[in-house]
Amino acid sequence: MLEKTDAEVLAQRERIAARVREELVAAGLPVLAPGVNPLLSRGVEVTVDPFDDAAGGVSVGWRSSPRLHSCVRRAAQHNLRDDPALAHQKVVLEGMLAAITAILRSAGFTVRDSLNDYAPFTVQVPAGPGGRPSWVPGEEEADVHLTTTH
């Protein structure tokens, strides 16, 4: 049986997840708000797994449009293996994960392929960067702003 991780580790995962969301929004990607039903949204989905195992931690994936998702579900339900929606969805997911991975690594995150067999087409983010995010104004920008407004 899976054990839940301790509160300190869970809090660290939540901090990493929040920073991941911020960096991806700063890059211009739509990010699902935590707590909103994913059937109503599309974009980056960041989840925190509370369990203490190798597949646990912060997971990042992509949710395609509800229309594409519906076409993929229909093809899977009817065993339509040659349906173009299946191949297209795979390309979309792989492309978006490559972009997400590149953005997060550029921002200083550690990103690796997911170890969770139940969450294909996701990546794991076991560690975040230290220091100031790239999108936060630096001191020189604050100084320029102060001198131009007074």
Q: Which two tokens stand for residue 66?
A: 């509800």
pLDDT along the chain (150 residues), means of 10: 85 95 96 82 91 84 92 95 96 97 96 87 93 83 57
Residue 73 structure tokens: 């579900």
Q: What is the pLDDT of residue 56?
A: 74
Q: In the structure encoding, which two tokens stand for residue 33, read together?
A: 């708000």
Question: Cα separation of 23 and 36, whole Å?
Answer: 20
User: The pTM is what?
Assistant: 0.86
**pLDDT score of 145:** 54
Distance CA 34, CA 46 (A): 8
> CA-based angle 93:97:57, to the nearest 5?
115
- Given this model, what pLDDT does residue 105 score? 96
